[in-house]
Amino acid sequence: MVLRCAWGTCNVDERYPERLENGVKLILFPKPKTNLEKCLRWIKACGRPHDQLNVQRINKHKAVCSKHFVGGNGPTVQFPDPILADGSVLRPTRPPLKRTYSENHTVRVIKKENSK
């Protein structure tokens, strides 16, 4: 078995190094056993039909070219997943924003006095 790119319509294959552009590397899929969530994101990014690409089909020969990542150089801290093959815009991952309220959201508790 050889490494093959699973992304979109890309057909890069280790057997045909001439298809590999300068410096492009094949990056293995995250393992479903240890990183299912990331693996599923990669599968989604590849945009292939489910019967062609799914968790059961992920093995140590499934890979994605480094050029399918933002910056064209493989996964980075900010963009650990491939670009979406359907052309959707990828947002950088960042720590969850702390919710800061610019307004004062103090809830006024109005005591209802049983006036009598």
Q: Which residues bind Zn ion (CB under 5 A)?
A: 5, 7, 10, 12, 65
Of 6 and 101, which has the nearer Cβ to Zn ion? 6
Q: Whole-number minimum distance, CB 20 to Zn ion, in Å?
A: 9
Of 3 and 116, which has the nearer Cβ to Zn ion? 3
Q: Whole-number minimum distance, CB 24 to Zn ion, in Å?
A: 8
Q: Whole-number minimum distance, CB 68 to Zn ion, in Å?
A: 5
CA distances from 114 to 34, 44, 84, 109, 111 (A): 61, 60, 61, 15, 9
Q: Whole-number minimum distance, CB 2 to Zn ion, in Å?
A: 13
Of 32 and 74, which has the nearer Cβ to Zn ion? 74
Calpha distance 12→69 (Å, rounded): 15
List the alpha helices (DSSP H) in 1-111: 32-46
- 18 Cα distance to chain centroid: 27
- 41 Cα distance to chain centroid: 4
Of 7 and 29, which has the nearer Cβ to Zn ion? 7
